[in-house]
Every structure is written in C-alpha cells, then in structure tokens.
Structure 1
C-alpha cells in the first residue's frame, strides 16, 4: 500500500526514538545538517486533476513544519528516460493541522499516463534543497474517480446493530454518521460525504483525526449535507483487522487503502476524493461548494 509508506516510517521512527530514550542518552545530529527526503503519500495517480500529498523525512524522522511551502515542478518522463520540459509548476502547502505528522498538499493535472517526475524544492536556512521523486500515472484509478457515479452500497446502519460499538471503532461516535446507507444517501437527492475509515485500527494513524474534522464540518453543514462513516473492518474489528477482512462496501468501491473520503453531489456524482489525512482548512471550502450545488474547485 504505497500511501502507507510514509506513515509506517513515522511509526517506526517514533518507536525507535522511544527505545533509544530507554538506553544511554545520545547526541542527535544537528537538524539543519540532515537532508530532507519528500515522500508521496498517495497510492494512485491518474490522468486529470490529482491531489498530491507529500510527507517529509529528515534523518528518517517525519518533519512537521507548518511554515514550509514546497515548490513542485512536474515533468513527463518518456519511455527512453528523457524528461520533457516542465509540464506544470505548483506549490504544496502545509496541511498537517490536527494530524500526527506533517502533510503538504498540492493539486496538479497530468495529461497522459506513464512515468512522471516531481521536482520538489524545499526552502532551507542555508538555501534551497531540491529533490526529485518518481510518480506513476495510470489511465484509470482503482478507487472511484471524480465524475463517476457513487456506488450504491448498503453498508450497515444503526438500525442493523444493537449498539454503535458494533458498527464503528470510533470511541466517540456521532450517531448521525450511521443513520443511512450510501444507497439511501444517493436516493435522498441531497449532497453527502462518505468516509471509509477505521479510527481504532488505522494503519496511517489519520482516521481518528479525519473523523474529528468531519464531525466539526457536520455541525456546520449537517442541514445541507449528509455525512456517512463506513467502518473499514466488520465487527469484531480487531479480529477482522488481523485477518485483513474488510466490509463489503470497501470491496464494492475497490478501495485498497484507508482512509478515503468522497464528496458526492445531489445527483450521486463524485465531485472530490481524498486519500489519507484531511484537515478542516482543506475540506471546508470544498464542502461549502458541495452544499451550495457548485462545482468543487479544490485548492491545497
């Protein structure tokens, strides 16, 4: 699961720091002397507009600097390995508020499938550091794309179980997220947001923060937009997690990673999709546009 790589590195790094703290004190290298390595935190990129989330590792440790803005220049790399002239230039801005690790998000359009290269410029006190990372762009995504019809899954609701703790691993669930199926939401003719997440067993550690963002947005837009949470694993969650057994809706939506968040308009058409961590600052403008019936113009 490529988008998990950065967050798994985070977990390993945190454990390493804790273990090291139990032994003899060590003198860490000077942070400014360590190179910074960008990592793409998305499992799939496709032709068209894409959300590009990046993490940064410095000395193997995730960096969380809200003052950084990354320059991103995209090149197409032909079959012979030659780079084209720059196809697009954009910026990745900090989107780590409330998340366990820094995240930097850009939006960019790819006009063809194949190998691409992102040249990342990172401001540093002693100058600018430049890194290049490879990106693979496909004709078609595994997960539903913007413009696709939402899949009318009949996920379990509160009416199907004796209590919410058999429906979600969220320790503080909001009952409003479990009132309807995705099929119900499509038939209601009202915009909706659906999040596939597992707050108690999230491999990327961002599911619970994502749910906190969505609960805050529901308090503002709940009269105009329906909100649905689909737990990734069936009850009992821990046992299903160990067996990597996911709920039917995950299979129907062909989701191979978690979490995913989709914004769907009143006609049942997907208008935006977000893989991994989301923040209030990034999501609120999009949901305001969704509630107003406007085309979503995503911004980092």
Structure 2
C-alpha cells in the first residue's frame, strides 16, 4: 500500500504502514506496539499490531490489520488471531468482530480483515487476542480513528460518474496504463459508462508498473483472473494513477497524478471498488484484495 505525500505534484513515497514487510525503515506507532513481546509455545514473539486502513468512517468498512513479531514482520499464519473486538474509547460500547486471515500476494505473510459497521465517530480501540506461552490468551490493542465522513465514497453511496480517459481517447494503452501486459477490456469504459450499463463493475485505482510495495502490482493480475471467469457479466475498469506514464522514462519525479484521485478522495493505493448494476458502491478495498474476497461480494450480484 502506498500513501501519497503530494497529490498535486505527483510525488509519493511508501507509507510507514508497510513496516511489516520491511520495505522501509519506518516503525509502527507507539500505540500499536507492545514493548514487552509475548513468547508463545512455538517460540514466536508477538510484538503488537499495525492497522493498515487509512480512511475509516461511520458506516460499513473493511478494516485491515497485521499482527507483527518482535522483528516488525507479519506473523503470517492463519489462526493466530483468536478473537477481536472494537471498543469506543472511554465508553462501554463494544462491537464483537470476526477476523479473517488474508494471505498476501507474496505468499510469505498475511493480514487480517474485519467487516465492521462503525456507528459512532471518534477514537476506537482494536483489541486482538493471540495465544500466550502458557496456553492462555494475550490481548494486543491498538487505537484507530474513525471519522464522521470518509475521504473516499462510502459503501452504499452512488459511484461517481467519472469521465476518465479510455482506449478511445488515446493512440496506445501505454498512455493510460503502466501495466506491462495490459488487457484492453480494462480501458474500454469510463466509470460513468460502467455505472449505467446495468451490470456490476469492478473499478481499480492503481499503478502496477511502478508498484514498490509488492502488493499493488498483483492487484490487476487478480482482477484479470476474475475476468477470465466472468468475462461478460462484469465491467472491469482500471484507472491508472499516473496521468503521464510515457513521460516518466523511469523517473517518478516527472509523474503527474491523475486528477481522478482527487475526485474520489483517494490518499493511498491501490483501491478497488465493487459497484452493483444500479451504480451503487457495495464494497471498497484499500490495499490488496484477493480473488476470494472479491468473489464473496460479486457472487451476491450475479
């Protein structure tokens, strides 16, 4: 996942949230790390948790988090999270949740997702229970901020009728995509066209050719696999984040960000939105989302 530091100039850097992949020298926040690691029966040390979601608001949300070890790496094993809940800080308001392990594209680690319904803004505590060394459970907690309204369009809201550039507006797909193996079907429609087509749509905002985090590049590959299974029933639209890919010649300092990002309020990448046949957003995914998780949503729309 990448966070943009300057949308206007197009300069961006890897976010400190990728600490658990050891791709940057950043460290997680003090609130999310237990300074005294727990040693479990298999010798694994749990250091804390890192929340990866950056745009949480009242309403339905997908919250991603990673449990990290004493080296700051994800534990990367299904079943290590025994239980989770969310508590509005300084209140007795608690929401029980079920965490689902999601393997990362690298195959060497994974994160957990929660489908939650935030009913109040403010600071919440994500409480996570993991195995302890004596066969008991240990609680890890980290704070998250929930806004009244998010920056990006909310689940349940109409999709924006964006007039993005398509293959019909350019001489070559390379003008609107950094994908090394672009599928022309992802560049046929504007989002405005897709939402009035009376078919479900999957919209990806990402820059696969310049991905540095090992997670945004595989996203479009995942959507291509889904397209192979459902080639005609679903619209597929890829919105390239870089507005001038042919000018870069390997130098990201030349990048101009696609103005569509501001329109959709996106401050990180990749983002994937699933839109129903009525043009309403039924799910949105910040960061990488696997085939299984997207199909869970699409199966309800087909």
The 1:213–1:12 alpha-carbon spacing in structure 2 relative to 1, beyond 3 Å, is: closer
What is the CA-CA distance between 1:126 and the residue it aligns to? Answer: 4.1
What is the CA-CA distance between 1:276 and the residue it aligns to? Answer: 0.6
Question: Is residue 256 from structure 1 mapped to residue 267 from structure 2 by the alignment?
Answer: yes
Moved more, 99-108 or 45-54: 99-108
Q: Distance in 2 between matches of 1:8 and 1:240?
A: 24
The residue number in structure 2 matching 1:193 is: 202
Question: Is residue 51 from structure 1 mapped to residue 62 from structure 2 by the alignment?
Answer: yes
The residue number in structure 2 matching 1:136 is: 145
For the 8 Å contact 1:8–1:204, the answer to whether it is kept is no
Moved more, 141-150 or 30-39: 30-39
The 1:108–1:129 alpha-carbon spacing in structure 2 relative to 1, beyond 3 Å, is: same
Query: For structure 1, which runs of at least 5 residues remain unmatched after alignment?
Result: 15-28, 292-300
Q: Deviations over 1:253-280 (max 9, x none)?
A: 1111111111111221111111111011
Provide TM-score, normalisation by structure 1: 0.82
The residue number in structure 2 matching 1:71 is: 83
The residue number in structure 1 matching 2:103 is: 96
Give the alignment partner of residue 114 of structure 2, picking from 101, 106, 109.
106
Question: Is residue 181 from structure 1 mapped to residue 193 from structure 2 by the alignment?
Answer: no
Aligned residues: 273
The 1:244–1:166 alpha-carbon spacing in structure 2 relative to 1, beyond 3 Å, is: closer
What is the CA-CA distance between 1:124 and the residue it aligns to? Answer: 4.7
Q: Deviations over 1:69-122 (max 9, x none)?
A: 342111111xxxx3x335111221211153464111111222111111111112
Query: For structure 2, which runs of at least 5 residues remain unmatched after alignment?
Result: 5-13, 26-38
For the 8 Å contact 1:4–1:203, the answer to whether it is kept is no
What is the CA-CA distance between 1:150 and the residue it aligns to? Answer: 1.1
Provide TM-score, normalisation by structure 2: 0.81
For the 8 Å contact 2:99–2:112, the answer to whether it is kept is yes
Q: Distance in 2 between matches of 1:115 and 1:262?
A: 26
Let me know the Cα RMSD of the aligned residues. 2.7
Give the alignment partner of residue 62 of structure 1, picking from 74, 88, 108.
74
Q: Distance in 2 between matches of 1:12 and 1:203?
A: 9
For the 8 Å contact 2:84–2:98, the answer to whether it is kept is yes
For the 8 Å contact 2:84–2:97, the answer to whether it is kept is yes
Higher normalized helix content (fraction of residues): 1
> Matched residue of 1:98: which SS?
coil
The 1:173–1:167 alpha-carbon spacing in structure 2 relative to 1, beyond 3 Å, is: same
The residue number in structure 2 matching 1:286 is: 297
